[in-house]
Amino acid sequence: MTEAIEDTTATAEARLLIVGPPGAGKGTQAKFIASSLGIPDVSTGDIFRENIKNETPLGLKVKEITAQGAYVPDEVTNEIVADRLSQTDAAKGFLLDGYPRTAGQVEFLDEFLAGQGAALDAVIRLIVDTEAVVQRLLKRALEQGRADDTEEVIRRRLDVYHTETEPIIDIYRERGLLIEVDGLGPIEEVAGRVHKALEARGIRPVDDAA
């Protein structure tokens, strides 16, 4: 019988979310934060894109929904997130990117974490100017050949974000979990602001946690 190998990878034991509108740079910052804290970066967008690329049944369904600028139904996203957070590398912490996006998803995540005897430690909100985001996304669409990312679709996605996702920010603000950071500027500068804000909450990179 093969003996189980204990995972000795250092982590900061932090359960975090990062929120912000499409184009705010969440994915880039999430990778920086997760790497420095030694926790997995769990991006629902990456999971969906992988399924779209492989043309799985989920991928084809998600592609049709997102092409219209809408969100994937809660029940589908909840199931995917619960499965990912149940994996061993997320036992001591994680950084969720792209979830939760609705009040229903907030409730589901609360119940899921409570079942593990855990709770969120902080929610990072990247604040950006809407027009700056539109131009950033149009530039990315051109560079990456994303023909479906027209200005109309981009603005529709932003409208959906403001309508469905911004209300969850108030929920986390009321709980005292919200950390608001200016998301405009060079990547390194934004990352520095995020880490400074996290350190103020006692959440430090693994090299500094000792």
Q: Kindly list the catalytic residues.
A: 26, 101, 140, 146, 157
DSSP the chain: -PPPPP--------EEEEE--TTSSHHHHHHHHHHHHT--EEEHHHHHHHHHHTT-HHHHHHHHHHHTTPPPPHHHHHHHHHHHHTSGGGSS-EEEES---SHHHHHHHHHHHHHTT----EEEEEE--HHHHHHHHHHHHHHHT-TT--HHHHHHHHHHIIIIIHHHHHHHHHTT-EEEEE--S-HHHHHHHHHHHHHHTT---TTT--
Residue 23: phi, psi to the nearest 5? 90, 5
